[in-house]
């Protein structure tokens, strides 16, 4: 089975880049063994340009930010299947979040969307200020996202092996350089 681990987000706006940073963390800290092919892609804010990539896989795991109603806090983590989005998820955050939702919906309408699992965290919104820094709350939430992602991949039959321990905060300072 071909599995895509896709990091979504804008690394120029602090916490909003956590999905991309987590993709880089997985690329640096993990290897995948067994019969399944696991590819890690930094999707950035490409949204619709990712359709050919997404449709070429049998399963997709997405790291991104999510927005939830008023009862949530920065750093809260949500994991869900795309075809079973919790009602609390509003998707009314930054442009990249809305575009990613539209991309997944368009792909689904065309009948080309593989099963998609989304692991998201509520970011601290920094407005128009640029920063590579991640908030403490999102760094803590990202640890939970990492653990959940390992469990999802193992449920999909992937043998996940940790090979390094690069910290997310450190990787966030160099993600712009690519894999």
**pLDDT score recorded for residue 100:** 86
**pLDDT score recorded for residue 89:** 85
For domain 2-177, which CATH number applies: 3.40.50.1450, 3.40.50.720, 1.10.10.10, 3.40.50.620?
Answer: 3.40.50.1450
Alpha-carbon gap, residue 177 to 179, rounded angstroms: 7
**pLDDT score recorded for residue 128:** 75
- For the chain, which residues make up each domain, given as ranges? 2-177
Alpha-carbon gap, residue 7 to 17, rounded angstroms: 9
- Mean pLDDT per block of 10 residues along the chain (179 residues) reads 96 93 98 97 93 98 89 92 89 62 92 97 83 95 98 98 97 84
Alpha-carbon gap, residue 40 to 22, rounded angstroms: 10
DSSP run (H or E) holding 40: strand 37-44
Alpha-carbon gap, residue 86 to 116, rounded angstroms: 14
**pLDDT score recorded for residue 69:** 77
């Amino acid at each position: 089975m071909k599995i895509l681990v896709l990091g979504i987000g804008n690394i120029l706006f602090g916490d909003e880049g956590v999905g991309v940073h987590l993709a880089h963390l997985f690329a640096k800290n993990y290897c995948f063994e067994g019969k399944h092919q696991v590819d890690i892609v930094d999707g950035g804010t490409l949204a619709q340009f990712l359709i050919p990539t997404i449709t070429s896989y049998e399963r997709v795991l997405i790291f991104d930010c999510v927005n939830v109603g008023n009862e949530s806090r920065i750093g809260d983590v949500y994991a869900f299947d795309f075809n079973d989005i919790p009602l609390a998820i509003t998707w009314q955050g930054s442009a990249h979040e809305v575009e990613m939702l539209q991309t997944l919906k368009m792909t689904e309408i065309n009948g080309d969307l593989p099963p998609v699992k989304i692991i998201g965290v509520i970011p601290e919104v920094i407005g128009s200020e640029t920063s590579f820094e991640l908030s403490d709350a999102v760094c803590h939430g990202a640890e939970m996202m990492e653990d959940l992602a390992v469990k999802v991949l193992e449920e999909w039959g992937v043998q996940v092996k940790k090979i390094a321990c690069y910290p997310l905060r450190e990787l966030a300072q160099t993600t712009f350089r690519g894999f």
